[in-house]
Amino acid sequence: MAEFSYTQVPLQNKCRWFVKHGATTRYDRGFRSKAEADAWINAFGRHLDWRAGYVFRLKGGQYDISVIDRQGVLAKP
């Protein structure tokens, strides 16, 4: 599961937090709360290479993945 795909991000409405992968952000998928985003990141388990708050990288991944708001501001723990 080293490859990231936006299909791994929940498809739901009324999201406040979104996933940025490299320079790309999709606003049709995301999270309603930071707790949802935190649980989603934790679910990667051993596939995480490293994590610092809401920024992480998957093993074998080329880009950082981060959780941001609609204005592009990084989520704070």
Structure tokens at 4: 């990231």
pLDDT band at 3 (very low <50, low <70, confident <90, very high): confident
In angstroms, the CA 17 to CA 28 distance is 11
Give tens-digit pLDDT for 34-54.
999 999 999 999 999 999 999
In angstroms, the CA 22 to CA 37 distance is 17
pTM confidence score: 0.92
Give tens-digit pLDDT for 20-35.
999 999 999 999 999 9
pLDDT band at 14 (very low <50, low <70, confident <90, very high): very high
